[in-house]
């Protein structure tokens, strides 16, 4: 049978666009459909605009800190609408770049929703198309709470388009979205309550990082409500009240449910193609991004594996090479670095202490110190660095950092860890002085041994 396309990609986010471009570059006839905005979550309502907002929050801190260096900068009011307008301009620019990248690669672009008619046929807007292979790359959507009064809450997509900044905000959740926006709104002058089921934020991260971040959030003025469950949200006269299971009531101007993200598989017509999904809605795939239907694949957040933009890009690139090239390049997904753009930020690569300890004797090295900047600014802010070392091989199997520039520093360390560097390799590396990063190559004294 002759098909309209060799490959059709549903979703114009980072993973889908990379897959489409690489496949087209390898000679395939490619189409891609996007129903909402080009660039997906990351570019529009995720990493990119979020980091711009984090930068905005940090400018206020920098102005206050400058007094310790002899500057006199009068306190001023923040213009939320100016920030959002500037952010929107930048996002529009990036949207245009994505469409140019696709059309410049020879990809046929459809600005419409695509749904399955059968395993080779898609309804794309008002047009029906066929494809030999189909890639599902539609990402996820914010998880909507189910407690009474959920209609009084916003989710992360909404936060980027608020018409005005609230004076008081209650954030529900302890994941990366919650802690990042807690830092953003606190830095912009809001009164922030962070309500989370766990006693510490960032479940799944290293325990020392979690503890350090909780302390940092508190120093930034965020009120932490750990071990708390929301039972209801009510509203009266424009004031919202968050009701907690322990009887506590928190009055606020805005309730932001930052409860994670859910794979966006509803309404795709996957049942018409016979594609299997998990209870979460995630499309089930194997290590090659293949679904149970031989010619249908899925990459990115829709698979609910490692929901990170660079991972989606790697998966899309690898799949295109596997389908139309000489074979996929090797990507190691077992030691993927990641960052949380809290204030201060967190970055991590490799095993956390608890997981390493389960595998055998493990040496732990930790350093905590006040960054040079804040010895003069007077701001209460600590940097924490941690190395996790397999005792038998002396390989560094994990590196974790809380502090300024953590994502930039850990990106470099992730190369070393992926190359199998040992603690001796770190020890014989000459540091750059004076920097925070040099601490990773000067930690000589073991803090503790675990896993014995």
Omega of the bond leading into 344 within 30 degrees of 0 (cis)? yes
- Integer angstrom CA distances of residue 149 from 18, 171, 208, 282, 372: 40, 15, 35, 27, 46
Q: Which of 78, 243, 295, 433 is catalytic?
A: 433
Residues 6+ apart with CB under 8 A from 305: 285, 311
Annotated active-site residue 433? The verdict is yes
Residues 173/257, Cβ–Cβ less than 8 Å = yes
Task: Identify the H or E element spanning 363.
Answer: strand 362-369
Widest CA span in the chain = 75
Residues 6+ apart with CB under 8 A from 287: none
Residues 438/429, Cβ–Cβ less than 8 Å = no
3-state secondary structure of 93: helix
Residues 333/412, Cβ–Cβ less than 8 Å = no
> What are the tokens at 394?
């002396």
Q: Which positions are annotated as active-site residues?
A: 433
């Amino acid at each position: 049978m002759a098909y309209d396309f060799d490959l059709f990609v549903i979703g114009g986010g980072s993973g889908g666009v990379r897959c489409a471009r690489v496949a087209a570059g390898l000679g395939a006839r490619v189409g891609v459909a996007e129903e909402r905005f080009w660039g997906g979550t990351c570019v529009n309502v995720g990493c990119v605009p979020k980091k711009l907002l984090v930068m905005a929050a940090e400018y206020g801190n920098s102005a206050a800190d400058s007094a310790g260096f002899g500057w006199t900068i009068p306190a001023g009011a923040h213009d939320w609408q100016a920030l959002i307008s500037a952010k929107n301009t930048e996002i529009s620019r990036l949207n245009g770049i994505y469409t140019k990248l696709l059309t410049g690669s020879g990809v046929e672009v459809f600005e419409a929703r695509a749904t399955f008619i059968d395993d080779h046929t898609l309804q794309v807007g008002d047009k029906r198309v066929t494809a030999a292979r189909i890639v599902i790359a539609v990402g996820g959507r914010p998880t909507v709470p189910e407690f009474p009064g959920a209609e009084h809450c916003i989710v992360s997509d909404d936060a980027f388009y608020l018409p005005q900044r609230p004076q008081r905000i209650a954030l529900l959740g302890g994941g990366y979205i919650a802690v990042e926006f807690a830092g953003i709104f606190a830095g912009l002058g809001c009164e922030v309550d962070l309500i989370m089921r766990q006693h510490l934020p960032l479940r799944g991260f290293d325990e020392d990082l979690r503890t350090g971040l909780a302390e940092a959030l508190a120093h930034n003025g965020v009120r932490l409500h750990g071990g708390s469950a929301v039972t209801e949200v009510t509203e009266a006269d424009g004031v919202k009240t968050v009701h907690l299971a322990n009887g506590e009531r928190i009055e606020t101007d805005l309730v932001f449910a930052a409860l994670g993200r859910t794979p966006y598989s509803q309404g795709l017509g996957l049942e018409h193609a016979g594609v299997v999904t998990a209870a979460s809605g995630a499309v089930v795939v194997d290590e090659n991004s293949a679904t149970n239907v031989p010619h249908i694949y899925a990459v990115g957040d829709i698979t609910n594996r490692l929901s990170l933009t660079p991972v989606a890009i790697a998966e899309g690139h690898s799949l295109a090479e596997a389908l139309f090239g000489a074979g996929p390049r090797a990507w190691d997904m077992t030691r993927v670095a990641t960052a949380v753009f809290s204030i201060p930020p967190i970055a991590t690569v490799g095993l956390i202490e608890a997981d390493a300890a389960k595998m055998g004797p493990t040496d732990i090295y930790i350093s905590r110190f006040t960054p040079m900047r804040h010895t003069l600014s007077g701001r209460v802010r600590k940097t924490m660095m941690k190395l996790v070392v397999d005792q038998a091989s002396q390989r560094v199997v994990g590196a974790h950092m809380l502090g300024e520039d953590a994502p930039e520093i850990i990106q470099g360390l992730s190369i070393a860890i992926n190359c199998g560097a040992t603690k001796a390799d770190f020890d014989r590396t000459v540091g750059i002085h004076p920097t925070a990063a040099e601490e990773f190559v000067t930690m000589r004294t073991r803090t503790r041994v675990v896993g014995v």
